[in-house]
Structure 1
């Protein structure tokens, strides 16, 4: 989200039809919006958010004492998690139940059951649900030792409380994430209860409600399982860190640096969108929220220089989704992956560096070549900020990120301690300049914003816990994995293809973190059965779970971008799919070539792998765009794509064949360029 103090915003262009049909050749000048225009732009972004981002559909509390009370609860929740991150939680199960109850309480108070349900009756009902949300924690706290000693032998009251928790979690997930995740949870619950009646490989022994209730409520395998454990620790702290960065004006810093570095180049605004959205997306962890916040600034700029509405929306959505794979934070999913695999966080972040850079390189190359083909220019240098001026004004805000990287990778401190220290450093660093200084009100606002931002993630993790609990006791994950491997005939390539398709389906309509958890639980085992390293398998499913957000027919991030750009949602989705096509190839490459993840390689090998991958992905992007020096015929695009893929393969013979194919295409391109007397390729 942009800082309220931001003032430099582009004018929404008039005459969009002219911009899309005949791209202007003159440089674009950034202009300041009037207050009325800025409010109109913010209103438009809010309307788009309300349509595509369920998290923005909060209830209006006009009674000030109630609004202040809820703000106080949110601030208390943030302070509680900061306290437990430093001094330790009261007990694993109790801490997770406190976290879930506080989150449920706020969800029912802040989010109506359906849009527009603002009446007194609805508020009373939701108030009752909010109070009931506290019951499981109070009951668990009073009977903590008794429940632990029972070891699965539940009393009737235990079963009732577990049932209440299950219903509340599913309903809260429906309000915050839509129908996809709750329906999935209900289906798995029914599968656990009645699986004995199913045919073939889906059949299992079946479980009664007492067994299911124990799994959901009194163990760390269900609702209070690993996902909610990570949400109540790492994710909460890092989302809180992002809220403090946002309050200090970090989004403006990212935008200004991106403008200063790439704004003047060909297609500059699209490159600005890619860089700024990628950086912010890594921190805020929500592709749709990132599209709405940064897209309100970048999409009008892209349209103004001549990109079509659909392409502008595609750029913003693909970059925002890509932020989730960008270290060091990766939208907080890296912490769940590390916890699930039992490996150090630094190992996950290091492995993700090269693939994420390749993804963003592919976007920038296609953006540049599209601009070259259309004859588009960038933004006038006179209206762009200078890098040194940006760093002088807001460069001190980079200090928390530098400290974070040091703490996570070199200090040997725990992740929670690192996050807490970095939050404190953010507050201190912001005081260094008047334009970024945070007072008590800003600090309290950041605490409240952080808690509100974590609501959807935590509820999704709790709801996913239902799925994981059923998968754990029924063995469904191994059953599904066996089915995928059998369908693929035991061939790794086809297993990857079927796993990819499963992830795209399972990830439809889900936020990034629950999408990863679901796909890692049900799809990743298919790869590990064939000998793929667990980290590679989890990164593979993580990528494709995310890409569901830009894959029609349920491309939520692309649809949100289309809402801002005025483009067609489905066409924007397909444009995003094409733009991210290289990203669909990258996971296959690192499975077959683990050296791309910088695992078990020396310096020379690492440098060679990175340079080779950068060149090959650039060539693949050129093939996808159909332009290098001049426009490429379809058959040259196929040859170039084949050559790039062969270069990416870790085989010397295939590398040589690939280089030969690339050389042929380059030679033909030079000849065609000379024949057409088109020297635009020199600008590449």
Structure 2
């Protein structure tokens, strides 16, 4: 039995409803929901605003506990109002039971805010009222999460809650048993403190994520989504497979500020997927390209599906550092996807669409392009130096001058936009005959880039907090949404200025309502994921997970990473981006760090978090659960499993990349040794990403033979990790006896690190525990013992062994050694060896044979293509 168009439309609407709710009640209730959603947005803007401190004598400044509780209260109330309980539940009204559940859920969520002072006076001693409220709140949270996000996250949370209560039951495997917790202890930990539901994850949702989701809603309401697609299409449509390349670029731009893979697919894919089909892409491939590019929007800074903000809290590094580390892998994945699209176009024998002005000489076109790029760079540089000059001259009063300058630029850009016709939405059924002209299309929405510029400026230049940066960007965008219509009408000489102003206000209100409804699922997801985090902190299951993966992998590092990747993928199935990152980061990130250190691989924590995030995100693509694939398939009218498989094939480049940056952290811009090293890292990373894509597609210059694809994989591996081959020839480290630790420390240069292999009894099990640590050393010149003591290492030489004293809690390395037992005299914690980096030839030497092999493959394929061209025109049956 085949599905009809109505079935597919209903499926797409159902998937879209997972973001905002499927219920459409009568006018009174609809207005109440809208007012509540609007109030939520206003509340979030207020708590992010510096104005709350100005008016502190009138309105109280809320602390994190208050804001998290109120944030969840809004989410719980709206969840029961807009999400029906069952498929057969009414959609046109809110049943009385849901009214009761909505009010009870909101009150339970707000409980720790309402009774904040009372709870603070009796920590760990909950009353009956506390426990009743916590129990009701927990049940209602899980039910709200089931309604809004489906059963997957609810089931995951229930499994962890069951472990909390029944950890000592006979049916629990011995390896993970613990004594269990009483209802009072569990509810106190999970609901009445900030260790569980109201923990870091919900705090990130309340303080950062909401504003970025609202920012995305405002951009969409302003028309920026359609603008990005049109600009990308006018820029790239003349290339082979141009609409697909435009879809990749547009999805990347939308991904800058979007927090949802599904939302990216539904909003952008409704335009780009039909566009790709109309130029000859098969339905499954068109949908898979949009799915891959939309999902990869979640790894694109600055928002990264809210994971970036969570990483700030979990990893403990500044937001700007997270963005810096995540940037190059994201760029590699997007450029590689563009290359995949190009290879698919080559396979189908596509040609580009005629471009306006294509009859001009190539030199003229190149000059025009160069002038455009140079003008953009000069404008950005002029803005940067103008702002810095103003700040240097006027100090604190420069703010108003900068605001006035930004306002003048905005008015000028809207004037340019008013000279152009408005961009129309694409008709998927209309024939595709010509490309929009680039310059007129570009001029219609340049003012949309101002809020994004404000966001990036605040984050990366002023180093403001993510919340404050989002606040200023959102305020600037609200101003644009409200004023662009009346300004446009004024510049076009229209007399309907009042009507245009009312439409602008309505756009703002609708954005506030839409942004809040988009946040319901994220608020519930972060709160429910907090149950998993609370379980880990209460039970110590994280240590058990480490032992489990260690046993399963047999101590082999690569197998361990593969297991962690698979577990992350499974845990991420059916979960929204934010929730799946919280779950996999809580359970799996410590596993990679600890086992890696035991095997001698010291992995930066940010690399581990990006690793598990990438694989948790793949669940949005992977059948049978990949919701993004289902959304893309519904638009393309294709089988979702087939679409998911094709999308996963496209995402193979994203699957390979995390393994590479675990072993080569230069891809995360860690350990770069100068400008040349930076250039080589970027160039080889991009080239390797393209070669992985070519190998997976079985096409380089022409269709590849099996051994050529294998050779491309080997070349890509060498470009990613040339040190692997060097390590086979020359060891990276020379091993010194532990008694030479002070001499080795004395020779380390200023701010260098000393690598030590540590062995000692585990605090929990007593079993031997191996660990490799990097000891940061300060200024050179002092003796080795002093430098080690300043780093927290106090070695005691006993014959040919070196015992370690327990580091002080304030020591830089205290966390590294917290799992060791320093009080067993017969088995001391000791330095097993001192490892000093060898003076070796550059690892880049191995790029030379790799590039020669690449040249051989390219020559063979060019030769084969010249004798038997394989590209064929697109068959008429493939066109739509």
Q: What TM-score does the superposition give when structure 1 sets the normalisation length?
A: 0.90
**Structure 1: how far apart are the matches of 2:312 and 2:454?**
21
Greater relative contact order (Cα < 8 A, sep 6+)? 1
SS in 2 for 1:585: helix
On the 8 A contact 1:42/1:296 being kept in 2, the answer is no
Change (3 A) 1:657 1:205: farther
Q: Which residue of 2 aligns with 1:642?
A: 714
**Structure 2: how far apart are the matches of 1:166 and 1:562?**
35
Change (3 A) 1:260 1:482: same
Q: Which residue of 2 aligns with 1:241?
A: 215
SS in 2 for 1:284: coil
Establish whether residue 104 from structure 1 lines up as the match of residue 158 from structure 2: no
Alignment of 1:268-347 (within 5 A): 268-347=242-321
On the 8 A contact 1:255/1:272 being kept in 2, the answer is yes
SS in 1 for 2:168: helix
**Structure 2 regions of 5+ residues with no counterpart?**
54-60, 357-433, 490-499, 597-601, 724-842, 873-880
**Structure 2: how far apart are the matches of 1:491 and 1:138?**
48
Q: Which has the larger displacement, 236-245 or 281-290?
A: 281-290
Alignment of 1:382-397 (within 5 A): 382=356, 383-397=434-448
On the 8 A contact 2:237/2:353 being kept in 1, the answer is yes
SS in 2 for 1:559: helix
- 1:558 equivalent among 629, 633, 640: 629
Q: Which residue of 1 aligns with 2:102?
A: 130
Alignment of 1:221-240 (within 5 A): 221-240=195-214
Structure with bigger gyration radius: 2
**Structure 2: how far apart are the matches of 1:422 and 1:54?**
27
Q: Which residue of 1 aligns with 2:178?
A: 204
SS in 2 for 1:381: coil
Change (3 A) 1:375 1:475: same
Q: Which residue of 2 aligns with 1:26?
A: none
**Structure 2: how far apart are the matches of 1:678 and 1:308?**
19
On the 8 A contact 2:24/2:91 being kept in 1, the answer is no
Q: Deviations over 1:76-111 (max 9, x none)?
A: 111111111122752222221111111100111111
Establish whether residue 451 from structure 1 lines up as the match of residue 502 from structure 2: no
On the 8 A contact 1:107/1:455 being kept in 2, the answer is yes
Q: Which residue of 2 aligns with 1:95?
A: 67
Shift of 1:44: 6.3
Q: Which residue of 2 aligns with 1:257?
A: 231
- 2:349 equivalent among 372, 375, 383: 375
**Structure 1: how far apart are the matches of 2:611 and 2:30?**
43
On the 8 A contact 2:65/2:194 being kept in 1, the answer is yes
Shift of 1:160: 0.6
**Structure 2: how far apart are the matches of 1:549 and 1:283?**
18
Establish whether residue 500 from structure 1 lines up as the match of residue 544 from structure 2: no
Change (3 A) 1:340 1:42: farther
Q: Which residue of 2 aligns with 1:169?
A: 141
Change (3 A) 1:130 1:210: same
SS in 1 for 2:565: helix
On the 8 A contact 1:45/1:293 being kept in 2, the answer is no
- 1:482 equivalent among 525, 547, 554: 547
**Structure 1: how far apart are the matches of 2:683 and 2:28?**
60
- 1:49 equivalent among 13, 35, 43: 13
**Structure 1: how far apart are the matches of 2:344 and 2:524?**
41
**Structure 1 regions of 5+ residues with no counterpart?**
1-39
On the 8 A contact 1:281/1:324 being kept in 2, the answer is yes
**Structure 2: how far apart are the matches of 1:59 and 1:49?**
12
Q: Which residue of 2 aligns with 1:613?
A: 685
On the 8 A contact 1:259/1:269 being kept in 2, the answer is yes
**Structure 2: how far apart are the matches of 1:42 and 1:336?**
40
On the 8 A contact 1:49/1:56 being kept in 2, the answer is no
Change (3 A) 1:679 1:139: closer
Q: Deviations over 1:35-75 (max 9, x none)?
A: xxxxx99996564131475235421112x222212211111
**Structure 2: how far apart are the matches of 1:429 and 1:378?**
36
Shift of 1:373: 1.9
Q: Deviations over 1:237-288 (max 9, x none)?
A: 1111111111111101110111011111101111111111222133221111
Q: What TM-score does the superposition give when structure 2 sets the normalisation length?
A: 0.70
Shift of 1:419: 1.1
Shift of 1:122: 5.9
On the 8 A contact 2:329/2:667 being kept in 1, the answer is yes
On the 8 A contact 1:94/1:137 being kept in 2, the answer is no
**Structure 1: how far apart are the matches of 2:464 and 2:91?**
50
SS in 2 for 1:385: coil
Q: Which residue of 2 aligns with 1:7?
A: none
Change (3 A) 1:318 1:679: closer
- 1:672 equivalent among 860, 864, 873: 864
Q: Which residue of 2 aligns with 1:151?
A: 123
Q: Which residue of 2 aligns with 1:14?
A: none
On the 8 A contact 2:25/2:91 being kept in 1, the answer is no
Change (3 A) 1:499 1:322: same
On the 8 A contact 1:310/1:567 being kept in 2, the answer is yes
**Structure 1: how far apart are the matches of 2:869 and 2:575?**
50
Shift of 1:386: 2.5
- 2:695 equivalent among 623, 636, 639: 623
Change (3 A) 1:45 1:395: farther
Change (3 A) 1:496 1:556: same
Change (3 A) 1:508 1:654: farther
On the 8 A contact 1:266/1:376 being kept in 2, the answer is yes
Q: Which residue of 2 aligns with 1:415?
A: 466
**Structure 1: how far apart are the matches of 2:637 and 2:101?**
39
**Structure 1: how far apart are the matches of 2:184 and 2:688?**
56
Change (3 A) 1:214 1:678: closer
**Structure 2: how far apart are the matches of 1:590 and 1:240?**
33
Shift of 1:477: 1.6
Change (3 A) 1:381 1:215: same
Establish whether residue 604 from structure 1 lines up as the match of residue 676 from structure 2: yes
Q: Which residue of 2 aligns with 1:34?
A: none
Task: State the number of aligned residues.
Answer: 640
Q: Which residue of 1 aligns with 2:35?
A: 72
On the 8 A contact 2:276/2:286 being kept in 1, the answer is yes
Q: Which residue of 2 aligns with 1:33?
A: none
Q: Deviations over 1:373-428 (max 9, x none)?
A: 21112334352222321221111110111111010011132222211111121133
**Structure 1: how far apart are the matches of 2:615 and 2:17?**
21
Shift of 1:434: 2.4
SS in 1 for 2:167: helix
**Structure 2: how far apart are the matches of 1:205 and 1:399?**
56
